[in-house]
Amino acid sequence: MMNNKSWAIKGWTALLSLCLLPGLVPAATAAEPPSCTDVRMADPGWTDIDATNAMAGVLLKALGYKQSVSNLSVPITYQGLKTGQIDVFLGNWMPAQGPLVKPFVDGHAIDVLHANLTDAKFTLAVPDYVAAAGVHSFADLAKHADQFQDKVYGIEPGAPANQNIKKMIADKAFGLGNWSIVESSETGMLTQVERSVRDKKWIVFLAWEPHLMNTKFHLTYLSGGDAYFGPNYGGATVNTVTRAGFAGQCTNVARLFQQMTFSVDIENQIITNVLQNKVDLNAAALQALKGNPALVSSWLKGVTTASGADGLQAVQTQLGIR
């Protein structure tokens, strides 16, 4: 992921250890200030965060809270958390965001509340026909530079993953010193992937799971990128982070977020329903919640409504979850 791999591992471990600190979220109470009823969240335009934000939003509304979601790039999101303009971000992908998030953690500008997803992955991938032609690792890319047109397709400018690719190119790693990154957006990148797959053209691009791309396209994740994306094909943990002090001020809603742990399967279910089956995002989130009542019960343990009533009972009654 970066040129100092040992720092990445230590930084990731340190961040995860914060998630395990006992007592980070005090026992839930109804004595939250009025400002806590409006939960301000961020979305970089990623479908996985669309899904998790939607699940959170459905539950918050049933509990008497209001969710406000701002579409912001990842760097701007962390600045918003630092300045107190954003309360919660569900998309702290680690170790990919390690260099970006470290100054905010070190400066106590944000709190790492909880690891909300494990077994994710995030690295470069190619279509299966490209893999069948001999491209299985980062080290194979340069041998086929002409077919790739010396390009790697990334997501939105400023995204930490794009910075990892730029660092890899600047380091001339894997013989890619003459390559460039095409920065667009998640949608723009995947549109290019779709065109390439349709025409059987070669393309290498950022890929991750959970995401519909894993079922829509037959793709192969590339090995050997540990120094820039981490081991195990960019094996990732996604954390919930908040503005500093949020858990102490908004104890009840923070307890909800500390207990919200997702899975690749449930996120993929929502993403597939929205993108492939054309289901409304909130309806897809509600469907996923109804299909996992035990999970919802675990998320709402000890959580009340904004007015102090039983949270689980309110959610079950309003949303028809049993």
Can you tell me whether residue 114 is helix, strand or coil?
Answer: strand
Q: Is the pLDDT of residue 242 over 80?
A: yes
Going from the C-alpha of 47 to that of each of 31, 59, 84, the distances in angstroms are: 34, 19, 25
Quote the percentage of the chain above a pLDDT of 70: 90
For CA atoms 49, 108, 165, 263, give the dihedral sign. negative
Residue-wise pLDDT tens digits, 271-290:
999 999 999 999 999 999 99
Residue-wise pLDDT tens digits, 87-98:
999 999 998 899
Amino acid identity at 265? D
| Whole-angstrom distance, CA of residue 193 vs CA of residue 8 | 30
Question: By C-alpha distance, which of 51, 10, 12 is closest to 209?
Answer: 51
Task: Give the angle 76-78-84 at the CA atoms, nearest 5°.
Answer: 100
Q: Is the pLDDT of residue 217 over 60?
A: yes
Q: Are 153 and 204 in contact (CB under 8 A)?
A: yes
pLDDT, residue 322, reads 81
List, in sequence order, every residue forming a beta bridge with 182; answer none if it has no partner: 153
Residue-wise pLDDT tens digits, 44-65:
999 999 999 999 999 999 999 9
CB-CB neighbours of 60 under 10 Å: 20
Q: Which residue has the tokens 């040129």?
A: 3
pLDDT, residue 243, reads 98
Q: Of all helices (H) and strands (E), which one includes residue 90? A: strand 88-94
**Residue 90 zone, left/alpha/beta (φ > 0; ψ -120 to 50; rest):** alpha
pLDDT, residue 103, reads 97
More confident residue, 233 or 2: 233
* Structural domains of the chain in order of their starting residue, each with its CATH number: 5-17+35-120+236-319 (3.40.190.10), 121-228 (3.40.190.100)
Q: Is the pLDDT of residue 226 over 70?
A: yes
- What dihedral angle (degrees, nearest 10) is formed by the CA atoms of 237, 278, 61, 316? -90
pLDDT band at 128 (very low <50, low <70, confident <90, very high): very high
Average pLDDT, the chain: 90
| Whole-angstrom distance, CA of residue 67 vs CA of residue 55 | 11
pTM above 0.95, yes or no: no
List, in sequence order, every residue forming a beta bridge with 89; answer none if it has no partner: 241
Residue-wise pLDDT tens digits, 144-170:
999 999 999 999 998 889 999 999 999
pLDDT band at 119 (very low <50, low <70, confident <90, very high): confident
CB-CB neighbours of 212 under 10 Å: 19
Question: By C-alpha distance, which of 125, 130, 124 is closest to 200?
Answer: 130
pLDDT band at 31 (very low <50, low <70, confident <90, very high): low
